Amino acid sequence: MQRCLSEQRAKEISDIDQCSLLGQECTWGFTMPDQKIQPDKLYYKIGEVSRIAGLPSHVIRFWEHEFSKIRPQRTPSGQRLYTRRNIEIILEIKHLLYDQKYTIEGARQFIKSCKSSVLPSILAEIRLELERIKAILS
């Protein structure tokens, strides 16, 4: 039985971020050309998300209607603003549809049944890193 967005998948997403910042080929064999993910950036426009995910923007807009977990904020002018979490969900949906060959309905059910098991592990990782920084500064 498959698990929800696993720690391994979260690591792959993290690898994409790190590799793209360095302009290198990722260790698991996926190249992210011309991709600039800014780690301190809170919101990304649809064009940036399109480059990050390697998908046309119309596909991302379509997925907004199909998957309730993708809900970008809107500016007063109606421009979509995506968070890192939105991008992670889009990458997971892409993985389910393109790599695992799920149907849209199957991917929707899979995501709906998932519990966010990654969030606690990410928070624990952040906590450890902050404790290390605190120890260095003390």
Give the lowest-confidence range in 29-38, 72-81, 107-116. 29-38
pLDDT, tens digit, for every residue of 84-137?
A: 889 989 998 999 999 999 999 999 888 887 755 555 667 777 888 999 999 999
**82: which strand partners?**
44
% of the chain beyond a pLDDT of 70: 67
**61, 45 contact by CB (below 8 A):** no
Q: Determine the Cα–Cα distance for residues 136 and 111; give it in Å rounded to an integer.
A: 40
Query: Mean pLDDT, to the nearest integer, of 21-42?
Result: 46
DSSP string spanning 72-132?
Answer: -EE-TT--EEB-HHHHHHHHHHHIIIIIS---HHHHHHHHHH----HHHHHHHHHHHHHHH
- What's the CA angle centered on 96, arms 80 and 21, to 5 degrees? 60
Q: Could you tell me which of 67, 102, 74, 106 has the C-alpha nearest to residue 88?
A: 67
Residue 115 is predicted with a pLDDT of 58
- Report the pLDDT value the prediction gives residue 116, as an integer from 0 to 100: 54
Query: Which domains does the chain show, CATH number per domain?
Result: 7-137 (1.10.1660.10)
Mean pLDDT, range 39-45, rounded to an integer:
84
pLDDT at position 120 is 65
